[in-house]
Amino acid sequence: MPELPDIAVYTDHLERRLVGHVLQRVALANPFVLRTVDPPIADAGGRRVTGIRRLGKRIVLALDGERFIVIHLMIAGRLRWRDANGKPPGRIALASFAFESGTLYLTEAGTKRRASLHYVAGEAALAALDPGGVDVAALDAAQFAERIARGNHTIKRALTDPRLFSGIGNSYSDEILHRAKLSPFALGAKLSPADAARLHRAAIDVLDEWSRRLAAETGDAFPEKVTAFHDAMAVHGRYGKPCPDCGAPVQRIVYAENEANYCARCQTGGKVLADRALSRLLHDSWPKDIDQLL
């Protein structure tokens, strides 16, 4: 799922291309992508784009008359830009937004239709779509520590809770926790002040560094290859590969449709955390320490 650094790249390019231009029409290739009915989406046609915003992991196109198009990409949704007379992206397109200079497409790979589109009127209606999470960079260390401790959840779960923090998902939470040298399953309520402060600093630095890195890699071209996996990441998507800090193989725990990637030596004192499926399969053969795997 695109997270804050990826969304920031999108919003930067959309701002350059769309602000001040008139949205000529919106076309839906899949009617189920639209989750609102009032005002009707046809009302967006003919309105000028006044700004581009980020609302958590959502992208907002602000139009004149206090109208807002809110796009949630979810797991496999992506945005694609085609210049005037450019070739459309094909059957994966869910919706298109036509401008004089080109067309913005909302696409989604696969068969699961999770990406969504809302069209709302007024700031209050827009605010109702905000889950309430705050950018970590807008918090001081004490405010961050208070939020990370809410609900007595693991810090992996807390970081990815959109009601607590804005724009952090599975991939960048792995990177943040590795940078902070903390177990993904440490409890937020039991973090020491020093650990909480280190986690806060790591979150700010990782998100900022990757926002700048992705912007530099994309350059002037519209971002077409947004992905949760990057070769330069420390642990996310790098199961079995060496940790860049200590060389130990990166470990993972798979749960539901997500996974946690971590370095046992750097983050859990050498302990290999039990993966439910594998530990049930291996029983007593499940390694307890990273050195048993080397």
pLDDT at 282: 39
Q: Does residue 275 register a pLDDT over 80?
A: no
Mean pLDDT calculated for residue range 183-190: 95
Q: Looking at the structure, tell me whether residues 151 and 284 fall in a common domain.
A: yes
d(CA 133, CA 242): 33
- Which of 95, 127, 159 corresponds to the end of one domain? 127
Domain end position, chosen among 127, 150, 178: 127
Identity of the residue numbered 41 = I
Classify the phi-psi angles of 96: left when phi > 0, otherwise alpha if psi is within -120 to 50, otherwise beta: beta
The identity of residue 235, as a single letter, is V
Domain ranges, residue 80: 4-127
Q: Which pLDDT band, with edges at 50, 70 and 90, does 280 fall under?
A: very low
Per-residue pLDDT at 279 exceeds 80: no
In contact, 286 and 278? CB cutoff 8 Å: yes
pLDDT tens digits along 150-164:
988 999 999 999 999
> Could you say which of 79, 100, 127 is where a domain stops?
127
- Confidence (pLDDT) at 285: 41
Q: Do 186 and 58 share a structural domain?
A: no
> CA 250, CA 239: separation in Å to the nearest integer?
5
Amino acid residing at 70: V
Query: How many domains, in total, are found in the chain?
Result: 2
Return the CATH number at 45: 3.20.190.10
Query: Which CATH number characterizes residue 142's domain?
Result: 1.10.8.50
Question: pLDDT at position 276, please?
Answer: 54
Kindly state the DSSP code that residue 223 receives in the 8-state scheme: -
Note whether 149 and 284 are same-domain residues: yes
DSSP state of 162: T
| Residues 152, 59 share a domain | no
The region, left, alpha or beta by phi > 0 then psi within -120 to 50, assigned to residue 26 is beta
Answer yes or no: do 143 and 257 share one domain: yes
Span of 194-198, 215-219, 250-254, 276-280 with lowest mean pLDDT? 276-280
What's the rounded Cα separation, in Å, for the pair 264 and 240?
Answer: 12
| DSSP E strands, the chain | 22-23, 25-28, 47-55, 58-63, 67-72, 77-83, 93-98, 102-108, 116-121, 251-255, 258-262
Let me know if 11 is exposed, middle or buried by CB neighbors in 10 A (0-12, 13-18, 19+): middle
Q: Provide the pLDDT confidence category of residue 195 given band limits of 50, 70 and 90.
A: very high
Q: Do 94 and 167 sit in the same domain of this protein?
A: no
For the ranges 64-68, 86-90, 220-224, the lowest mean pLDDT is seen at 86-90
Residues 253 and 149 in one domain: yes
The residues near 32 (Cβ < 8 Å, ≥ 6 apart) are 113
User: Do the beta carbons of residue 202 and residue 195 sit within 8 Å?
Assistant: no
Retrieve residue 268's tokens. 């859990």
**Max mean pLDDT range (2-11, 86-95, 276-285):** 2-11
